[in-house]
Structure 1
Amino acid sequence: MYTISSKLKTFSIVLMVVGLLGIGYGFLTAPKDIKEVEAILAAESHGHGGGHGEAHEAAPAHAEEAHATEAHEAEAAKPEAHATEGEAGVADQAHDEHAATGDAAASHDSVTTSVDTAAAPAVAEAPAEEHREVAAAHAEPAHADAHAEHEAHLEHVLHQLQNKPWAALYVACIFFLLISMGVLAFYAIQQVAQAGWSPVLFRVMEGITAYLPVGSILFLIFLITCAAHLNHLFVWMADGVTDPKSENYDALIAGKSGYLNIPFWLIRAVIFIAGWNLYRHFSRKTGLAQDEAHDDANYKKVFKMSAGFLVFFIVSESIMAWDWIMSLDPHWFSTLFGWYVFASFFVSGITVICMVTLYLKTKGYLEYVNTSHIHDLAKFMFGISVFWTYLWFSQFMLIWYANIPEEVTYFITRINDYTLPFWGAVVMNFVFPILILINTDFKRVTWILVGAGSIILVGHYIDFFNMIMPATVGDQWFIGIPEISSVLFFLGLFLLVVFTALTKAPLMPKRNPYIEESKHFHY
């Protein structure tokens, strides 16, 4: 029986505490109103534009911007300060009218000279005064429109900055949840395939999937906060987007409202998560019962459950990807997206199986797990990384080549605003696995596999970051305290739950029909 060490338990708890503090800091420092957004944007503008290493303090920056706004409003009352096209048209019209009456010179002087010129004839004062009134009438609506547009922009940035801690939490929450899902899918595939090499790893897989119930509860709570409008992550949930009478009306989103509506969205989430957890619970329970049985009846039950689960999983996983990730960009869609998301968390799950197995081996457990088992896990890590790259390129190339505006915008946004993480994910999820794991000997070396596995996991976290952040925070992204703290919290929780679950049962299945073949697996 495995016993979790006090050091690992303490390490997990410390990660969770530090993560919670950082998450709290992220929410506390998020801007509360438009004034704070103005101060932040002004500080950033002065910091970048002035060429200084430090940004100006927020309050002075806000004061300077307010003063500039007041000066602009004062200037709006002066016709001389607005050389707009409307005013130019008024001046030309006045000039033409006076030219038709034979007094072109007097008209020209009345428009172009100052109002208080003593030599100007009295008859010219009326057109000049009329010019001022018309110019002011043109200036006021233009200024009002500009002001309204500025306010709308500030409100949009406010929502993005308020979304930042929520989005950071969402990326980490769904990433660790789907890691356990990837392991569960791999476990079910091994059961249905009646694989002879992997039964010695079943208890490791079951331990990792123990995080699924905990992660599911936290994720459902998060989805409820979205439905309750505590954040603005999902724009299709905004008020008025499906109401033609609202200024927020969006025809495209309204056309999808039969599917994208909060009650149906939550119902689907509950059904999917319940189905996944039910399979996890009964397959684990029946698998443990097989250890004490005298026949293979329980093994056959797990086989049938696994076959049914895989059918449910392949459907629910695609819809889950649409609901929880793709609907963040409700104007965009990809028919490959469900497979793309699956490949990302599937290879992450297999990588975690490998790394947990290596850790237990270093502690003296899993005596029947040999380098051939590790080599097979590494082959899956390599193969699914190539599969992910195939899907990434297929999705990107077809959309980029077609150059349809409503589709290609998805990638243009990420290439322009997320250049480093966008291309960095490709390097970490394809280039490094290819260079490291293509060598057969390297697939059996512990420190190489740990290094490659760490790169893969970080790379796929960034992949989820790229899928979620542009739609929720726009160009206001930065991997800072909220993002790092969210990862630390869920990593600590994941380690604590997984390694505690590994202590609940023997690490070696006793009565699996293929256990002896697995123990002596070599090639």
Structure 2
Amino acid sequence: MSETFTVPARDLTKSGIPTLADIGERLRGGAWAFVLLGIGLLGLGLVLQAERGWGNLLLTAFNLACVGLGGLFLLAIQSITGARWSDPILKAHRAMPALLPVAGALMLLLAFGASVLYPWARPDAASHEALHGRLGWLNLPFFFGRVALIFAAWIWVGRRLTQQGKGAAPFILVFGLTFSLANFDWLMSLEPVWSSTILAIYGFSGMFLQGIAIVTISAIVLRRVGLLPAVSKAQNHDLGKLLFAFSCFWAYIFLSQFLLIWYANLPEETGPMRLLLQGRWMPLFYLNLILNFGLPFVLLLQRRAKTSEIVLLATCAILLAGRWLDLYLQIMPPVLHGLGPVFGPAELGGILLQLGLGHLACWPVFMKDANPAQELPPAE
């Protein structure tokens, strides 16, 4: 005859085990420290060298926008396809778009430093031969008006998707048009004589890969603290396959863009590429390939590696560093006017600001539906 045993519930307030609210409070203090230190270092960078300060602010704003869009895009495609494997990790997808208003505010701040970043925003722009016929589109009021409209569209459509579960198909349409425009406006116009017809798809490949990496880290960490208890090795394996596949996709688009420039051999396209392949920028050019493709390919090649949380976390950290470097190589060479790369207060400040703002914006969404007295799961 079987017997039923009941285990009395433990009082977590007396057990010494930190609750999710405790963890969030501790992390929030650290996040605010990162934000304040990041702002201070960015301000110091602006004083020391305005080009680097404003360039890193652009990198920070664009990267945060890509994180928010990555979460929305993953949520949209899973809604359209009716995917069920990702149900346990949807909370991570819904948290990432909280960064879009923050990124929009940072992008609008660039209006004060636009003349440092963009040649078309300088007083002598009309005399610049490469800008003839472009100033009707590239001028400060119209440019930042587009910035405001693009972020307003992303935030409005994104809130419908995350809060009501509606509008996945309209979001894909809006995203395709506006994200392409954002890449051409915000990044390609840094260098008036350079152009790439596939810059938007290249930007998408990096954005999507970064989004998968952040969702993977969130799923693993939040399972450890009890917010996503349903995440299993099956979800880890699926996320590992996505990381592997889209790392290869990023490399394919990278090679496609490079080969188009190499084959056409047009001076206005090869000049910026030669800068990256020579002198002090060359090591970073090859490091970009290693971080975004080489190391992830080797680490995730075996099936067992795709279910290992340690391997997945290490791979995601590498990919996020690679994404930062990829954007750095797109933004800083034209902003620095041919000077070599430097890592200093402005770069460190931008990274700290991204980490701090990321936690402050996303953690409240993670906690929204959680039980604050929830116990941490035992370590496996």
On the 8 A contact 1:2/1:502 being kept in 2, the answer is no
Mapped partners of 1:466, 1:207: distance in 2 = 28
Q: 1:262 to 1:17 in 2, by over 3 A?
A: closer
Distance apart, 1:379 and its partner CA: 1.2
Q: Would you say 1:236 and 2:255 are equivalent positions?
A: no
Distance apart, 1:17 and its partner CA: 2.4
Structure 1 vs Structure 2 CA RMSD: 1.7
Mapped partners of 2:361, 2:325: distance in 1 = 24
Could you tell me which amino acid in structure 2 is paired with residue 501 of structure 1? V
Match of 1:363 in 2: 225
User: 1:111-144 deviations in whole A, cap 9, x for unaligned?
Assistant: xxxxxxxxxxxxxxxxxxxxxxxxxxxxxxxxxx
Match of 1:18 in 2: 37
User: 1:396-444 deviations in whole A, cap 9, x for unaligned?
Assistant: 1121132211111120012224112111101110101110112111111
User: 1:252-278 deviations in whole A, cap 9, x for unaligned?
Assistant: 202222322222222222221111100
SS in 2 for 1:418: helix
Could you tell me which amino acid in structure 2 is paired with residue 396 of structure 1? F
Match of 2:97 among 209, 231, 249: 209
Could you tell me which amino acid in structure 2 is paired with residue 418 of structure 1? W
Match of 1:421 in 2: 284
Mapped partners of 1:21, 1:201: distance in 2 = 35
SS in 2 for 1:255: coil
Mapped partners of 2:55, 2:351: distance in 1 = 12
Match of 1:330 among 171, 184, 192: 192
Q: 1:261 to 1:27 in 2, by over 3 A?
A: closer
Mapped partners of 2:173, 2:247: distance in 1 = 23
Match of 1:252 among 130, 136, 154: 130
Q: 1:24 to 1:269 in 2, by over 3 A?
A: closer
Mapped partners of 1:395, 1:20: distance in 2 = 35
Match of 1:284 in 2: 162
Distance apart, 1:499 and its partner CA: 1.0
Could you tell me which amino acid in structure 1 is paired with residue 257 of structure 2? Q
Mapped partners of 2:269, 2:222: distance in 1 = 46
Mapped partners of 1:333, 1:27: distance in 2 = 28
Could you tell me which amino acid in structure 1 is paired with residue 106 of structure 2? L
User: 1:144-174 deviations in whole A, cap 9, x for unaligned?
Assistant: xxxxxxxxxxxxxxxxx43111112221221
SS in 2 for 1:502: helix
User: 1:61-111 deviations in whole A, cap 9, x for unaligned?
Assistant: xxxxxxxxxxxxxxxxxxxxxxxxxxxxxxxxxxxxxxxxxxxxxxxxxxx
Mapped partners of 2:301, 2:125: distance in 1 = 50
Mapped partners of 2:132, 2:221: distance in 1 = 51
Q: Would you say 1:8 and 2:27 are equivalent positions?
A: yes
Match of 1:499 in 2: 363
Match of 2:350 in 1: 486
Distance apart, 1:2 and its partner CA: 5.4
On the 8 A contact 1:15/1:491 being kept in 2, the answer is yes
Mapped partners of 2:232, 2:93: distance in 1 = 16
User: 1:427-466 deviations in whole A, cap 9, x for unaligned?
Assistant: 1101011101121111111111111100000011000000
Mapped partners of 2:43, 2:231: distance in 1 = 42
Distance apart, 1:187 and its partner CA: 1.0
Bigger RCO of structures 1 and 2 (CA < 8 A, at least 6 apart): 2
Could you tell me which amino acid in structure 2 is paired with residue 241 of structure 1? A
Unmatched runs of 5 consecutive residues or more in structure 1:
31-160, 243-248, 288-301, 508-523
| Aligned 1:95-244 pairs, distance under 5 A | 161-222=49-110, 224-227=111-114, 229=115, 232-242=116-126
Distance apart, 1:506 and its partner CA: 4.5
SS in 2 for 1:398: helix
Q: Would you say 1:409 and 2:271 are equivalent positions?
A: yes
Mapped partners of 1:398, 1:260: distance in 2 = 26
Match of 1:155 in 2: none
On the 8 A contact 1:13/1:492 being kept in 2, the answer is yes
Match of 1:439 in 2: 302
Distance apart, 1:476 and its partner CA: 4.4
Mapped partners of 2:73, 2:333: distance in 1 = 29
Q: Which has the higher mean CA deviation after the structures are superposed, 484-493 or 251-260?
A: 251-260
Q: Would you say 1:453 and 2:305 are equivalent positions?
A: no
State the aligned residue count: 350
On the 8 A contact 1:164/1:477 being kept in 2, the answer is no
Provide the TM-score with structure 1 as the length reference.
Answer: 0.65
Match of 2:147 among 266, 269, 272: 269
Could you tell me which amino acid in structure 1 is paired with residue 262 of structure 2? W
Considering only CA atoms, is the larger Rg found in Structure 1 or Structure 2?
1
Could you tell me which amino acid in structure 2 is paired with residue 478 of structure 1? V
Q: Would you say 1:382 and 2:226 are equivalent positions?
A: no
Distance apart, 1:251 and its partner CA: 2.3
Q: Which has the higher mean CA deviation after the structures are superposed, 258-267 or 196-205?
A: 258-267
Mapped partners of 1:202, 1:364: distance in 2 = 15
Mapped partners of 1:272, 1:226: distance in 2 = 20
On the 8 A contact 2:205/2:246 being kept in 1, the answer is yes
Q: 1:269 to 1:21 in 2, by over 3 A?
A: closer
Could you tell me which amino acid in structure 2 is paired with residue 324 of structure 1? W
Provide the TM-score with structure 2 as the length reference.
Answer: 0.88
User: 1:456-501 deviations in whole A, cap 9, x for unaligned?
Assistant: 0001100000000001013143011210111112211111211122
Identity of aligned residues (%): 29
SS in 2 for 1:325: helix
SS in 1 for 2:196: coil
Any runs of at least 4 consecutive aligned residues in structure 1 with deviations exceeding 3 A, and if so which? 1-4
SS in 1 for 2:368: coil
Could you tell me which amino acid in structure 2 is paired with residue 465 of structure 1? Y
